[in-house]
Amino acid sequence: PAFTWEVRANDRRYHAQCKRRAAFCLSKRKYRGNAIKTAKYNLLTFLPLNLYEQFHRMANVYFVFVILLQTFPEISTLPWYTLLFPLSCLLLIRGLRDLIDDIGRHQSDRNINSRPCDILRGKSFQRQKWRDICVGDIVRLRKDSFVPADVLLLRSSEPSSLCYVETADIDGETNLKFRQALLVTHQELGSEESMAAFDGGVTCEEPNSRMHSFTGTLEWRGQTHSLDSERILLRGCRIRNTHLCYGLVIYAGFDSKIMRNCGKIKRKKTKLDRMMDRLVVVIFLLLLVTSLCLAVASGFWARMFQEKHSYLAAVYRNTSPAQQAFFNFWGFTILLSVIIPMSMYITLEFIYLVNSCFINWDLGMYYAVKDIPAKARSTSLNDQLGQIEYIFSDKTGTLTQNIMSFKKCCVSGTIYGPGTGHENKEPPGLGPAWDPHGELKVDVTLLEAAQRDSDPVLREFLRLLALCHTVMVEERGDQLVYQAASPDEEALVLAARSLGYVFLARTQDTITIRELGRTRTYQVLAMLDFNSDRKRMSVLVRDPQGSIRLYTKGADTVILQRLRSRGPSEALTERALGLFAEETLRTLCVASKEVSEAEYQEWGRRHHEASVLLQDRAQELDRLYEEMEQDLQLLGATAIEDKLQEGVPETIQLLKLGNIKVWVLTGDKQETATNIGYACKLLTDDTEILEEKEVSSAPTTPSSPSEILQAYWASNNNLSGSGGAPGSSHPSQQCPEASCHRRRAVIVSGDFLDKILHTGEVLKEKKGWPWRWLPRGRTGGSQEQGSLVEKAFVDLATSCQAVICCRVTPKQKALIVQLVKKHKQAVTLAIGDGANDVNMIKTADIGVGISGLEGLQAVQCSDYALAQFCHLQRLLLVHGRWAYLRICKFLRFFFYKTFAGLMAQVWFAFHSGFTAQPLFEGWFLALYNIFYTSYPVLSVGLLEQDVSAKQSLQFPELYVTGQQDQLFNYRVFGLTLLHGVGTSLTSFYIARWAFEDHVGSKAVGDYESFSVTVAVSALLSVLVEIVLDTRFWTVLSFLMVTASLLFFCLFSFLTQSIDAFRIAPAIFSFPDASRNALTDPYVLLVVLLSLVVNTIPSLTVHAFRATTGKTTIQQKIHLKAKKEPEPSVELKAHVPRGSFCRRSSYAFSHQEGYAGLITRGDSLRARATPGDSLRARATPGDSQRARATHST
């Protein structure tokens, strides 16, 4: 890549004058400031931008169109303000909601931009804010502070300018990582004066989103120094175990890598929202067609009328039949425009708001330990919570508590730990020096055995825990503070301390421990470093007596292969490892061997020669490590618990029963992610795991992800026996969702995904990609092939029980979510707690942030905030399903009552000369959807339940209803439309038939009485239909129905009174119409007949469902007993995890390179010599305390 990003230290003027070309020949500053802005609006842009967003809703465009029509008096049948006022209210309500949300984003931006930071100004550092930082500035960072920008490390207070950072918010890993400054800046920049005089220049790549990659050079004093990612501190990471460090700002603000991975805020719309937009278009087209037909009919009727009644020619002399048809078309359009009711959208906003309050008030999602309730940060997505198909979850801090604790161990085949019945007893004769803080519950039997010091294997086991590690120790007063880069190592060292083997101090070539009160210093001859390929680390030491021993710890799969012999003890240890794996504990095997002096001298000479090689140094060292780590004697095994959040396994099981698939996306290592998968029951012991490296069905070993997917699909015939290509349009050639492989899982790495998600780059590197299984005629174009790779991967992953993606970047997380949305059109939910989850949360249809004591970036960008992962079950299975049910019923009832009440206008046109004359009183049209029928429907939208919360969790299978869009879809809408049309036809023509021959001196047969009869018939039919279909009744429900009838009586009395008619006869044109009509027994019988005829079909359907058991709830509950069919095709590519018959639960968080730092002395401060006055006690390191605090 071209290195065009030039940074000059302490030169703000240079960076300010650098411009880059923007759109329309404009230019802007090349180097951004450090202030971030995630808010969408400001004072000037709020009104235009918000209106622009709101008019993306088709309904709002439709209402504006109707309002414009109403401004023409020639065609208007209703006053223009009857729609303008409610539309203004709707826009105002939604605008205020968006404004409140954006104010929260402004506050978040202000808090972040106002964080304090020391910036070099002139010749001294000044306390300023993050927003004041510019590219090229030198900043001073203190311990436990967050890095404000991407900076080049210049110097630190640690030896050799090391800097320890915690990157949990960036990549999800809890172990500390080290960064080291260049030697030249470490030596030359030792004072503030030298910092102020520093004028080095950095040339590097342009800002990008690659979190683990950086390439550049530093030019200073005529010399060029190479830079890589090991010299860079990224924005968002936290300084740990380092008092002070200094850095040169390379990328600031939105140019920093974490911000490049955060993505943009997008307006989220639910499936029902998108469907409603399409329905508005459909209804509007139906309205236009209906109006056109009625207008054409009015033209023909006018011509016939004029020909038949020529004596009225003077009335029509100024208009022709065509002109009348034209004006009537627009008149009918306005008259029927209420078919899409404005009040529905206003009521819908209120329902969303109240349902959000129900989420906020739910004590079942309140975390009393931290006093954190659930919070619905978005009020317009509640119904989509009932339609989730895929959940994408972070691991660190979301599924786990970030706490590692020593749980069990096996020594000489004997298992120690909780479950033996001794762990809660206080052993006699053990004082507080053994475990002063009481942090570890150590098995008393093990503690007593350690105190007796009679078992040499146990002594070597505990000695190994105290010696074989890279933990650093710092003396603070009378305490020892452990500083561990690995939480696993810290847990083991703390366990050894609790058992009497206390790690006291280390130097470049010695390590001092206290063994049961006796201080012993060991000479460190060599440290055989850990890496992900070796899966082990060793230390070669000489004890005070002169004996040399090798202590090794690592994965059981590598340690057991290097034993001298196997006996009963080794067999019992393997059995213990299996038991530990069943408890999903993180296991390590520990072993040792004695090394003769001659053997060490020969090996040490070759080790020294290999360590100074210029070529193939790492390979030669690995070969020597392998040679030394042979013929080991197994001492035992350790078991560490990576504590899960409360209720995680149970929640995942419920979600799986609800047909919701859970994917874990983490930046952590594969072993750690897989172990957590077993711990949270996402994976089980009979799960067959598919990894990219294990697919061997192809004739040759696949060398790229494309070939892996090709081999997989080819060998399994697309799981359907067709052999077609993934992405083929033929149904038989697709991976069927129905054959979801319940006992298989996919585990892939970020590197694998990177080649899939950036297929274009892969194709450039490797031409002639062998997609032999593509159909003919579809071999051209890298973009099409890339899409097929994506489709193949998504089909493969979604067909399995679980998916775990490890070592993924924040951008990759978002791209994975986008892939599933793109190829499966599925509703997705993302949940996380850190800055590395923000992009994923923004990309998913629903974003959930986990609230904590620190790192609220995820919550601030989320739609819903929870304190615990386990609260997800109530959020989805209870509130989500209820919200979907309520909204669907509300929409169905609202459309039904609208069509049932107002379609009579169309039937009346056939009997009024197609003149667009309203059938109903104007006040009835205005109040019908607001007061007369809205309250019962509102009650359903707020309170409806088909089953209780307890039953919703007891039968998670009911959740499938929302995933399959069963309660509101095009079919349901069509049936609702026909139902409403049928009700209006019945109400109108029964009244029409009854009034046709009703004559006599006391007969009621006028137009107003007819209108009231049709109106009352339709109103009562609608209310009875809602009553019959309401499942959950409360006092409020009864009050709502009663209120509708009372409002009809009240407003009819007010708007039809004689006094009102005398005041404004044009406005109150139905004097005493309801009183005259409804006091006539004949009219009441007509209303009763219409009500009975309209109700009988609904009663028949309800009775049929009740007697045949065809209700949705009964069908879903019966799924409990329904067994899923096994797939007919066996997947050849699947390989069980591990090579042993038992499952390996090895996991170890560590970064390669620490051993070299220790042996070179780079990580050591002053030489520590523990005195007799130092008590044998130590406290957890800062990283462990921070994680413990975070999880409290």
Binding positions for Mg(2+): 394, 396, 833, 837
Give DSSP secondary structure letters for 434-447. Answer: TSTT------HHHH
104 HSE (CA, 13 A, CB side): 14
Rg, Å, the chain Cα set: 37
Helix (H) or strand (E) segment spanning residue 27: strand 27-29
Whole-angstrom distance, CA of residue 243 vs CA of residue 25 = 48
DSSP 656-670: HHTT-EEEEE-SS-H
Calpha distance 111→839 (Å, rounded) = 20
Per-residue CA distances from 1127 to 692, 729, 945 (Å): 22, 22, 36
Contact 198/511 with Cβ under 8 angstroms?
Answer: no
Counted residue by residue, the chain has a size of 1192
Q: Tokens at residue 89, please?
A: 């209210």
Q: Nearest CA to 501 among 433, 439, 569?
A: 433
| Backbone dihedral angles phi then psi of residue 534, each to the nearest 5 degrees | -70, -35
CA 979/CA 1097 separation, integer angstroms: 10
Which residues are paired to 120 by β-bridges? 125
Show binding-site residues for ATP: 394-396, 489, 530, 553, 586, 666-668, 807, 813, 836-837
479: left (phi over 0), alpha (psi -120 to 50) or beta: beta
Q: How many CB atoms lie within 10 A of CB 531?
A: 16
Neighbours of 42 (CB within 10 A): 11
Query: Which residue matches tokens 């058991």?
Result: 1109
Nearest CA to 451 out of 436, 464, 465, 462 is that of 462
Query: What are the tokens at 422?
Result: 């001794």
Nearest Cα residue to 912 out of 428, 104, 302: 302
Laid out side by side, the sheet with 548-554 consists of 414-416, 400-411, 633-644, 586-595, 548-554, 536-542, 518-528, 510-515, 501-506
Report how far apart, in Å, the C-alpha atoms of 777 and of each of 772, 773, 780 are.
12, 12, 8
Return the DSSP state at 1167. Answer: P
Would you state the structure tokens that stand for residue 862, as one six-digit string?
């989320």
Q: What angle do CA 189, 191, 195 make, to 5 degrees?
A: 55
Tell me which residues are annotated as active site: 394
Asked if residue 875 lies in contact with residue 365, where contact means CB atoms within 8 angstroms, the answer is yes
Give residue 189's identity as a one-letter amino acid code: L
Q: How far apart are CA 877 and CA 873, in angstroms?
A: 6
Q: In 3D, which of 1066, 896, 1026 has the Cα closest to residue 972?
A: 896
Kindly state the tokens that stand for 1110: 């065809």
Separation CA 510–CA 541 (nearest Å): 8
First to last CA, the chain: 46
Look at the block and give the residue holding tokens 């989805």. Answer: 876
Q: How many CB atoms lie within 10 A of CB 554?
A: 22
Sign of CA dihedral 653, 655, 656, 658: positive
What's the rounded Cα separation, in Å, for the pair 407 and 289? 74
Kindly report each contact of residues 1118-1125 with a partner whose C-beta sits within 8 Å and lies 24 or more positions away, as own/partner. Answer: 1119/957, 1119/960, 1120/955, 1120/957, 1124/740, 1124/742, 1125/738, 1125/739
Q: What is the DSSP string of 527-563?
A: EE---TTT-EEEEEEE-TTS-EEEEEEE-HHHHGGGB
